[in-house]
Amino acid sequence: MNQFAANLLLALIWMVFFGGYTFLSLTSGFILGYGILWLLQPLTGVRSRYFLRVYYWLKLIVLFLYELIVSSLQVFWEVVTPRVNARPAIIDMPLDVKTDAGILLVTNLISLTPGTLSIDVSEDRKTLMVHAMFADDPDAVVHALKSGMERWVIDALEGKR
């Protein structure tokens, strides 16, 4: 059985057992089911990438929220202070992510982060044009995006490292 389906089934059983049909009971059941499936791995002999993928998805969500808060504060500070620190530029970022879902997720995460905007993906899908509000060093911006959001997306989608 698919590990995610088994985890979801355990979460639903948890909800029925306690009679609470809320998002909180589903979430707690899902966490408990995850722990049970993880502990049962040695007994079943099934080694699944599911557990690593869940870790990478949680990492992606938490780190994106952190980047969202930091960049929001940076843009806010730029707006409320009289001095102009922004040095906008359009930067070409080579893409390591290859799947359509990966490219879509990277471009959307970049666009959702204040101060950056995905403009276009090249026809060969190897380059992403990004407008960055704070691009004093374009190479540093590309490095930050590649080692940050793009790496997190690749890890979450592939679940291996």
* pLDDT tens per residue across span 15-46: 998 887 888 888 899 999 999 988 888 887 76
**With 80 as the cut, is the pLDDT of residue 14 above it?**
yes
Residues 29 and 92 grouped into a single domain: no
DSSP 8-state assignment for residue 125: S
Residues 63 and 124 grouped into a single domain: yes
Residues 69 and 122 grouped into a single domain: yes
Arithmetic mean of pLDDT over the chain? 90
Q: What angle do CA 115, 117, 123 make, to 5 degrees?
A: 155
| Strand pairing category for 127-132 and 89-94 | antiparallel
Residues 25 and 71 grouped into a single domain: no
Residues 100 and 147 grouped into a single domain: yes
Give, in order, the Cα–Cα distances in Å from 98 to each of 83, 105, 142, 146, 150: 40, 11, 17, 13, 11
Q: What angle do CA 62, 67, 68 make, to 5 degrees?
A: 95
Which whole number is the average pLDDT over 142-155? 93
The boundaries of the domain holding residue 38 are 3-44
Residues 92 and 31 grouped into a single domain: no
